[in-house]
Amino acid sequence: MYCRDTTDAATEHIAGLRLIYYYAGLTLITDRSLEILGHMPTLEEVDLYQCKGITDEGLRSLARLPRLRKLDVAECPGVTFESTHAFPPGVQVRYST
């Protein structure tokens, strides 16, 4: 999602889709969106860029995704490097501040 006005409501609308890739950059999503994504078993890649409303707790919701192979978290001030340790070794995690 590229629209800066995108909120968790948009994520709720896509919850039933069989997405493989999810991107959110400069949006207003919160941990609620990550919780929703955490229940989308087809997701293989998640890319989060400058999402100021997400935190470590929300990021950990993605760790249960069975097919997740790649996670990119960049410039999300509420997310710390320590939260990336929740992901199993098979998930490539890229974290930057």
d(CA 12, CA 70): 22
Read off the pLDDT of residues 5-29 as tens digits, 9 standing for 90 and up.
999 999 999 999 999 999 999 999 9
For 34, the enclosing helix (H) or strand (E) is: helix 31-37
Taking a C-beta distance cutoff of 8 angstroms, is the pair 40, 11 a contact? Answer: no
For 60, the enclosing helix (H) or strand (E) is: helix 56-60
Given this model, what pLDDT does residue 3 score? 82
Taking the model in full, what pTM does it have?
Answer: 0.95
Read off the pLDDT of residues 73-85 as tens digits, 9 standing for 90 and up.
999 999 999 999 9
User: Can you give the residue ranges of every domain in the chain?
Assistant: 8-96
Homologous superfamily of domain range 8-96: Ribonuclease Inhibitor (3.80.10.10)
Residue type, 77: P
